[in-house]
Amino acid sequence: MKVSRWYNNADIRLEEAPTPIPGPKEMLVKVFACGICGSDIVEWYRLPRAPLIQGHEIGAMVVETGSSVKKFKAGDRVFIAPKVACLECEYCRNGHHPVCSNIKDRLPGGYAEFILVPEALVEKGTYRLPDKMTYEQSTFIEPLACVIRAQRLGGIARNQSVLIMGCGMSGLLHVKLARAKGCTIAVTDVNPRRLALAKKSGASIIIDATEAVPDRLYAENGRKADAVILCTSALSAIDQAWKCVDKGGVVVFFAVPAPGKQVTIPINDFWTKEIRVLTSYYCGPDDITSAIEMLGSGSIIIEDLITHRLPLEETAKGFKLVLDGQDSIKVIINPNPEEK
């Protein structure tokens, strides 16, 4: 089978690899779509495991199951989580599924024609797609689930004022979810095209990130934001975020700066104003289920976020598009486009 192997962002190679044969408790799936995530291009995060086959936002079909697999059969259309929590440890019992210390198996990368799904993911991490959901729509399940979790942790609810900083794919999903909740949404970015898409997606206050963001927010919103969600790692945005959150509010780090970059929290100021600062990484099983329901029901529409569809052979081009960030929002790789 063909795979796209990542050595670094400037070295992505189309290679041949043996097509896996599933063991008794494994299964083989054929990948029809796999999105490029913003985290895929973060070298400090990925290089320690390089070279590797990346890709964790997939839509696939089961082609072969092991003799002991009873839950799925050939022909089933599925989404598979990148990793699954044990659901039994102290972290899982307290709702911290992303930090489960018993995670062992991870989904082999989706930039490949086929994936061998390990036992743990067959049992706890594979979800059948709704009949009307396309493979491309399924590539949004995991990123939307992460957005759902972040907003849940932040306590974001109807009628709140939300500032979303950074209007890449994740930021735009935050806009769409906040809009579905009936929030008033402000956004910042330096890219006019992304700001226009954010407005189309439901944001009512559009701010160029190079402007005096706190002043613009207050002038147009009449107050600061109940919640500020950072979908950019820019230190300048973080400095703006501290000045944009209202008393009793929350700042959610959905993206973080690279290791070694220092972030100073104005803790004395926040202490008297009861402001929370939290991080959100990955998602849990309930978030995945909610994402599937929202995408399947059409309550969250994502087709307008897809800007590029590329064959497996052009994975390197896809990474360049995401790295450049000017003309792309969601880039999807189609390893088996002829049979989609």
Give yes or no: residues 216 and 312 share one domain. no
Residue length of the chain: 340
| Domain final residue pick, 279, 297, 328 | 279
Residues 120 and 165 in one domain: no
Q: Does the residue 39 lie in any domain?
A: yes
Summarize pLDDT for 155-180 with one digit per residue, the tens. Answer: 999 999 999 999 999 999 999 999 99
**Residue 340: per-residue pLDDT:** 41
Which residues sit opposite 230 in a β-bridge? 165, 253
Q: How many domains does the chain have?
A: 2
Lowest mean pLDDT of 70-74, 99-103, 185-189, name the range.
99-103
Burial class (CB in 10 A: 0-12, 13-18, 19+), 307: middle
Read off the pLDDT of residues 242-251 as tens digits, 9 standing for 90 and up.
999 999 999 9
DSSP 312: G
The answer on 187 and 68 residing in a single domain is no
Q: What is the pLDDT of residue 324?
A: 92
- The conformation of residue 152, written as its DSSP 8-state character, comes to H
Residues 250 and 317 in one domain: no
Asked whether residue 149 is domain-assigned, the answer is no
Assess if residue 150 is contained within a domain: no
| Reported pTM | 0.95
Find the CATH number of the domain harbouring 323. Answer: 3.90.180.10
Q: Is 64 helix (H, G, I), strand (E, B) or coil?
A: strand
On whether the CB atoms of residues 277 and 267 are closer than 8 A, the answer is no
Q: Please give the structure tokens belonging to residue 64.
A: 């072969």
Question: Residue 9 and residue 43: Cα distance in Å, rounded?
Answer: 7
Considering the domain architecture, whether residues 136 and 231 belong to the same structural domain is answered as: no
Q: Which domain holds residue 271?
A: 155-279
163 and 260 co-located in one domain: yes
The verdict on 101 and 221 lying in the same domain is: no
H/E stretch holding 230: strand 225-230
pLDDT, position 325: 87
Do the domain assignments include residue 45? yes
Q: What is the mean pLDDT of residues 223-234?
A: 97
Question: 31, 293, 36: which is closest to 145 by C-alpha?
Answer: 293
Q: Are residues 109 and 214 in the same domain?
A: no
Last residue of a domain, one of 231, 250, 279: 279
State in Å, rounded, how far the first CA of the chain is from the last one: 17
